[in-house]
Structure 1
Amino acid sequence: MSITRWLRSLGPNHGHLSAAQPEFTLTAVFIGLAIGCLICFTNLSLGLQSGWISMMSIQSALIGFLISRMLPTPLSPQELIVVQTTAVATGTMPLAAGFVGILPALGLLSEERDGTPPIHLTWWSAVGWSCAVAFFGVFLSPPLRKQVIIEEELPFPSGTATAQLISVLHQLPPPDTVRHRRGYREVDHEESEDVGEAIAEVPAQEEQTAEEDTERDIVQHEGWYDLAWSFGSAGALTLFAYFFPAVFTIPLFGTYLAKEWLWYFTPSLSYVGQGIIMGFPTTLSMNLGMFVGWAVLSPLSKLAGWAPGPVGDMSNGARGWILWVALGIMCTDSLVSLFPVVGEFVIDIIKPLRQRYTRIGEDGPVKRSHEDETEDRLVPYSWVVSGLLASIVVGTILVWVVFGHEGIKPWATVIGFIFGGLLSVIGVRALGETDLNPVSGLGKVSQLLFAWLQPGNIVANIIAGGVAEAGAQQAGDLMQDLKTGHLCHASPRAQFYGQLIGSSVSIIVTTTAFTLYNRAYQIPGPSFPAPTAYVWLGLARLLRDGQLPENSALFMAGFSLFFGVLSGIKTKASRRQLSYAQWIPSGVAFAIGFLNTPSFSIARLIGGIIEYVYRTRYAKQDGGRGNDIRLVVVASGFVLGEGVVSIISLLLKTFGVGVLSCWGCGHGMCGGCPTVS
């Protein structure tokens, strides 16, 4: 992640955060829930718009720290970790429970084509579905923590970056993060180092301390100001665009291209903020995909007669045609990037785990325990086993109640949970090594399995994929938080409580928000196209009948082959930490450029360019990295500002308050305005 580069460059420090500090407190939980609810609304809105969400762990820690400065007793570092853990668990439910993909896909079913009518869940049914998948990943995280964080010592870059940020803000360095990486040799603490090297390191340490002081001062003295103006600017622009929709549909390339080919520009500050968070290389990949998909393949399919319908039609238009090419790219890229992780996973199962020792005793080697937490701070395994069994049993019953026996068989749901658990292990390992959780690829692997277990049942195929994705998504996001807690000596049990509370509250918040959006808007529709819903449904239909639009199979195969090779090169370069790896186009980001209209990608590219220029030029003008933190705060304000005001827009839409003027909507693409011929 681009915003963590400056954190990763801080380097290791020795020391410990005091374990005597307060940890799990009502204040920390309430602040975490408040931040998490804002992130939840933001992620739901952005996910339905573009298929992209963010766990926002660093942003949660920053905002939590700013809020704590206003309290009579500021939060301790460990309380701040509970804040960001609770916020992440609350904010990522839109993706974990499938509200941005699975549920919209079920609403696209056609009785004529799929043999079942569209499935639109009621509020109670959506709550039941969310409860079915909300806790499996939470109970799976403690044993995964012991394996990938304690034993294998995987880096989890975002979790490590968050720990470094918290240590800087509280003037307390985390434990040595370099030694806690797989592949580094264990060093005896009593070993003496070369005196000359120790003396040479003193200036560098003093310079690093000065930079940390600068970063901390910027957050404390200018953080609220930067957050306030960025939040207010994004919110004001969003509210203005609600009443004057033409503001967000500017025909930058001409009215003809906007009306006929969907080339217009949305100057959303939230999209700009997302681009800053995603970084220039990712936004560049997305825009390369946007250009190839919408400037090359879309006109080609339309003019050649392969997609005769309107360009934006997902059934027989160019947008539906290029969807299949995007699907091939996403599947290939995700699966190829999994191969090294799967290989290591298999090797670890076959080959005995490497033994690590601290001393040799008279009776032979003595194994050293890597766990540095006491039993009263860990999650008891009796809780884990009971929770996993209850999650599977209760989850299977709830899925059967919500979707019925014809939707997915109970035995198939049980297999879905078990298979999802196995895929979660793979996903967590991939996340720990690369900072990327390939949940989309894991969901598609589950779809492939259930195309064989329950052939022809599209509903079962989509639901099974959703169960697998939920486990992998939750386990991965929570593992980043547990890595942060491990480095900062926070109680895993306190974090576990925060995860349970955050997930529980988010069920109600996400379900209510999704229900309101469904009442006020057409989903999928012009305002919320829910692009990933078409990916889920498209793959399920392809696995059932194998029919593709005319000539799309050739392009699908060609692009899949190209990005399969490219993904292999990128994966190898990334695992070797080669500098050019970030500039190799990402297949998933490239495919997202296909799924979204150009308006979504262009604004994100602007954010990516701002991030790159600011980081490489302006942030270093003062001789250090101190001002980088301001860009993180501003990007957070942009994203959260539009997300919060979208709640106001939703309420206005629900109560029948419409737009004030449709002036400038002659291309007919403005949400909220009647189509103008």
Structure 2
Amino acid sequence: MAQTEEQNQRKKDLELEKEDLSVEKVFENQEVPSWRKQLTIRALVVSFVLSVLFCFIVMKLNLTTGIIPSLNVSAGLLGFFFVSTWTKFLNKSGMLRQPFTRQENTVIQTCVVASSGIAFSGGFGSYLFGMSERVAQLSSNRTDIKNPAIGWTLGFLFIVSFLGLLSVVPLRKIMIIDFKLTYPSGTATAHLINSFHTPQGARLAKKQVKVLGKFFTFSFLWGFFQWFYTASDDCGFQAFPSLGLKAYKNRFYFDFSTIYIGVGMICPHIINISLLLGGILSWGLMWPLIGNKEGDWYPAGLDENNMQGLEGYKIFIAISMILGDGLYNFFKVLGHTLTGLYRQTQDKGQKNLIPVADQNSPSSPHQSFDFQRRTQLFLKDQIPTWFAIAGYVSIAIVSILTLPHIFHQLNWYYMLVIYLLAPTLAFCNAYGCGLTDWSLASTYGKLAIFTIGAWAGASHGGVLAGLAACGVMMNIVSTASDLTQDFKTGYLTLASPRSMFVSQIIGTAMGCVISPCVFWVFYRAFDDLGTPKSEYPVPYAILYRNMAILGVEGFSSLPKNCLLLCYVFFGSAILINLIKDLMGERGWFIPFPMAMAIPFYLGSYFAIDMCVGSLILFVWQKVNKAKADAFGPAVASGLICGDGIWTIPASTLALAGIKPPICMKFLSSATNKKVDQFLGS
């Protein structure tokens, strides 16, 4: 009987080995370069160029709707294209000294994603811009302000952006090898990079790059063409009332934005449908009905941005849904984390093995070739635990001493509490991300807004203190989960953990410089940045500021019946998530409350764009699924990159004071008749 069990176990192990055999056996004869050789000058140059491109893309998405898809595939694909072209040219001229490896490709992808990640976690579309006077004018609290400036923004980001990296370094072996966390995005990126460096994968990558280039060019030229017709507000194709003037007034229209068509092709279909449902529920039903209560629920004749009017319902109901969804997923992921940790420690206890960071894992004859090879190289270049701890403590001390000078509302003891709790929260986020592929960085940031804001109080600048604390917490937990994702990618591509860590530090440093500069271009070029009906409404900035106000002032600032509606939508977000989880795979059609909440403030125009992208991909998959799966991400990346890069010349033209020559507007026949009569007279 025991022999049969042993034979079955060996059979399973052989099947597992066959499953993974193709990966490392293919690269078995290739020498793995040392960690220093993985960090080449050409890799860092390409990383810098792509970081600028991706920071513009992420910044534009941040400042328009705040929906940012995963750009790992685009970063890996473009990194492969640039360096393989570079090495091919040098090889023909006989000057090539080092071939292009998958480890170098991983370094580029890591560096670019780390850099562009700062454009998100830096809060330029949320907490940081929420401190500004522009956003304060749209809220009930107009006193606690701190306008953006490159100087203090650079200092703030450099102080807080590296702590998350150092907090999870001692846990790298526990996460990747002992707990064997999946990190789906990191694993998918690794498989992509591995495939690029096989002969068949390289041929496919060249075709993908060609497709990406075509749609990049189309998207860029389309953005250029549209610019000519946008001489003033509500002009151009982006103001085209494609569904009628009444629908346009309620923000239902297709605005011909290629960037959101591309985003829609990357995002799951249910996310796009959730966005559209949220827009229909809010702008199609709720806001017109609440608008009819003007003079009863709220005073008539208020400014459209007044928080005591309809704007208050839009913002606070959206906040309640976001908080309900965020808290549900926080406790869900925390439950997964604690359950997983309990099981892992039970297993380790039975094997008399404590998972320590610098401890080598035992090898078993039944472990696959891939596992042994990857584990051996992953444990080869250790990052000393003492270095990570000493670095964390040193930067924390510097931060505690300096941040109160940037934000005088942020007392040193607030910072001390945050830095004592942050490593635990960073671990929870990194572990939860490994299980669910879901980073809850923004949720941890919102918890910091409410706790620190309430602690500081309204009389001591609680709004700014809460927003600044949100920034500190978001940067720590976000970079922690990003680094562990990259460690997983490096583990599967045999990239050294040391090169991964160094490239993440270099990418983070790049992002701390590039992101504020890119934001400053937008801030100076567009005077209406942050206003609700502008090209760049920055929706999350007003939402985050009002969260801080809510945490400090309580519910007294809400208009009539708004609190009741907030309770209803807060509970609905939890209930929808609960039903979705209980139904499992059968609940694929149930929408996501977080996605539904975003159009409550913005409207449905971008959701319609994303649904068009989703429909294109759906039809393509029905016609030719293999081709759609192979080239869909490349088409989407081209559309996103082309429109994103157009913002550079558009911003430059705006800074130079050059305005488009034409204003293309759409009027009703009655209004047009009046205009004709006026001009005729």
Structures share fold, TM-score greater than 0.5: yes
Q: Which residue of 2 aligns with 1:270?
A: 259
The equivalent position to 2:535 in structure 1, one of 527, 533, 538, is 527
Are the equivalent residues in 1 in contact too, given 2:47–2:79 (CA < 8 A)? Answer: yes
The equivalent position to 2:270 in structure 1, one of 267, 273, 281, is 281
Find the aligned partners of 1:513 and 1:256 in 2 and give their Cα distance.
36
Q: Which residue of 2 aligns with 1:204?
A: none
Q: Which residue of 1 aligns with 2:487?
A: 482
Q: Which moved more, 1:486-495 or 1:542-551?
A: 542-551
Find the aligned partners of 1:290 and 1:338 in 2 and give their Cα distance.
25
Q: Which residue of 1 aligns with 2:605?
A: 599
Q: Cα RMSD over matched residues? A: 2.9
Q: Which residue of 2 aligns with 1:421?
A: 423
Q: Alpha-carbon deviation of 1:507?
A: 1.4
What letter is aligned with 1:242? W
Find the aligned partners of 1:628 and 1:284 in 2 and give their Cα distance.
20
What letter is aligned with 2:116? G
1:69 aligns with 2:84: yes
What letter is aligned with 1:223? Q
CA pair 594-368 structure 1, distance change in 2 beyond 3 A: same
Find the aligned partners of 1:150 and 1:391 in 2 and give their Cα distance.
28
1:292 aligns with 2:281: yes
SS of the residue 1:264 aligns to = coil
What letter is aligned with 2:68? I
- Residues 25-424 of structure 1 correspond to what in structure 2 (within 5 A)? 25-72=40-87, 75-107=100-132, 108-109=135-136, 113-114=140-141, 116-171=143-198, 213=200, 216-220=202-206, 222-245=207-230, 246-258=236-248, 260-305=249-294, 306=297, 308=300, 313=305, 315-346=307-338, 353-356=345-348, 368-369=361-362, 372-373=376-377, 377-404=381-408, 407-424=409-426
SS of the residue 1:606 aligns to = helix
1:655 aligns with 2:667: no
The equivalent position to 1:584 in structure 2, one of 556, 576, 590, is 590
Are the equivalent residues in 2 in contact too, given 1:298–1:319 (CA < 8 A)? Answer: no
Q: Alpha-carbon deviation of 1:89?
A: 0.7
Q: Which moved more, 1:291-300 or 1:518-527?
A: 518-527
Q: Which residue of 1 aligns with 2:498?
A: 493
Q: Alpha-carbon deviation of 1:592?
A: 1.5
CA pair 19-340 structure 1, distance change in 2 beyond 3 A: farther
Q: Which moved more, 1:95-104 or 1:423-432?
A: 423-432
Q: Which residue of 2 aligns with 1:440?
A: 442
Q: Which residue of 2 aligns with 1:178?
A: none
Q: Which residue of 2 aligns with 1:461?
A: 466
Q: Which residue of 2 aligns with 1:536?
A: 544
Find the aligned partners of 1:70 and 1:555 in 2 and give their Cα distance.
57
What letter is aligned with 2:64? Q
Q: Alpha-carbon deviation of 1:395?
A: 2.5
Are the equivalent residues in 2 in contact too, given 1:227–1:634 (CA < 8 A)? Answer: yes
Q: Alpha-carbon deviation of 1:374?
A: 6.1
Q: Alpha-carbon deviation of 1:318?
A: 3.3
The equivalent position to 1:567 in structure 2, one of 577, 585, 595, is 577
Find the aligned partners of 1:112 and 1:320 in 2 and give their Cα distance.
9
Are the equivalent residues in 1 in contact too, given 2:138–2:307 (CA < 8 A)? Answer: no
Q: Which residue of 2 aligns with 1:552?
A: 562
Find the aligned partners of 1:115 and 1:27 in 2 and give their Cα distance.
48
TM-score between both structures, scaled by the size of structure 1? 0.83
SS of the residue 2:158 aligns to = helix
1:636 aligns with 2:625: no
Find the aligned partners of 2:450 and 2:586 in 1 and give their Cα distance.
33
SS of the residue 1:353 aligns to = helix
Are the equivalent residues in 1 in contact too, given 2:127–2:468 (CA < 8 A)? Answer: yes
CA pair 89-359 structure 1, distance change in 2 beyond 3 A: closer
Deviations 1:496-518 (A, max 9, x none): 11111111111111111111211
Are the equivalent residues in 2 in contact too, given 1:86–1:502 (CA < 8 A)? Answer: yes
Q: Alpha-carbon deviation of 1:637?
A: 0.8
Find the aligned partners of 1:218 and 1:112 in 2 and give their Cα distance.
51
Are the equivalent residues in 2 in contact too, given 1:110–1:118 (CA < 8 A)? Answer: no
Find the aligned partners of 2:38 and 2:542 in 1 and give their Cα distance.
43
CA pair 309-581 structure 1, distance change in 2 beyond 3 A: farther
SS of the residue 2:123 aligns to = coil
Q: Alpha-carbon deviation of 1:59?
A: 1.3
SS of the residue 2:136 aligns to = coil
What letter is aligned with 2:397? V
Deviations 1:303-358 (A, max 9, x none): 12246568963634534422211111111111112223323444567788134599
Find the aligned partners of 1:25 and 1:561 in 2 and give their Cα distance.
52
Q: Alpha-carbon deviation of 1:228?
A: 1.5
What letter is aligned with 1:243? F
Q: Alpha-carbon deviation of 1:143?
A: 2.6
Q: Which residue of 2 aligns with 1:517?
A: 522
Deviations 1:180-209 (A, max 9, x none): xxxxxxxxxxxxxxxxxxxxxxxxxxxxxx
SS of the residue 1:354 aligns to = helix
Find the aligned partners of 2:667 and 2:184 in 1 and give their Cα distance.
47
Greater helix content: 2
Deviations 1:380-439 (A, max 9, x none): 2122112212321222333222222xx211111232233333322222222212222122
Deviations 1:250-273 (A, max 9, x none): 112323443x43333311110000
CA pair 339-237 structure 1, distance change in 2 beyond 3 A: same
Find the aligned partners of 2:406 and 2:383 in 1 and give their Cα distance.
31
Are the equivalent residues in 2 in contact too, given 1:355–1:367 (CA < 8 A)? Answer: no
Q: Which runs of 5+ in 2 are unaligned?
A: 1-17, 88-95, 231-235, 354-358, 364-374, 669-681
Q: Alpha-carbon deviation of 1:39?
A: 0.7
Are the equivalent residues in 2 in contact too, given 1:302–1:311 (CA < 8 A)? Answer: no
TM-score between both structures, scaled by the size of structure 2? 0.82
Q: Which moved more, 1:50-59 or 1:313-322?
A: 313-322
Q: Which residue of 1 aligns with 2:7?
A: none
SS of the residue 1:437 aligns to = coil
Q: Alpha-carbon deviation of 1:111?
A: 12
Q: Which moved more, 1:297-306 or 1:415-424?
A: 415-424
Are the equivalent residues in 2 in contact too, given 1:377–1:491 (CA < 8 A)? Answer: yes
Q: Which runs of 5+ in 1 are unaligned?
A: 1-9, 173-212, 668-677
CA pair 442-117 structure 1, distance change in 2 beyond 3 A: closer
Q: Alpha-carbon deviation of 1:589?
A: 0.9
Q: Which moved more, 1:562-571 or 1:267-276?
A: 562-571
What letter is aligned with 1:631? G
CA pair 257-312 structure 1, distance change in 2 beyond 3 A: farther
Are the equivalent residues in 2 in contact too, given 1:138–1:475 (CA < 8 A)? Answer: yes
Find the aligned partners of 1:478 and 1:608 in 2 and give their Cα distance.
30
Q: Which residue of 2 aligns with 1:207?
A: none
CA pair 629-390 structure 1, distance change in 2 beyond 3 A: farther
Deviations 1:548-595 (A, max 9, x none): 22222222211221220221233455xxxx433443211111112223
Q: Alpha-carbon deviation of 1:117?
A: 4.4
Q: Alpha-carbon deviation of 1:151?
A: 2.1
CA pair 626-387 structure 1, distance change in 2 beyond 3 A: farther
Q: Alpha-carbon deviation of 1:538?
A: 1.3
Are the equivalent residues in 1 in contact too, given 2:258–2:643 (CA < 8 A)? Answer: yes
CA pair 369-339 structure 1, distance change in 2 beyond 3 A: farther
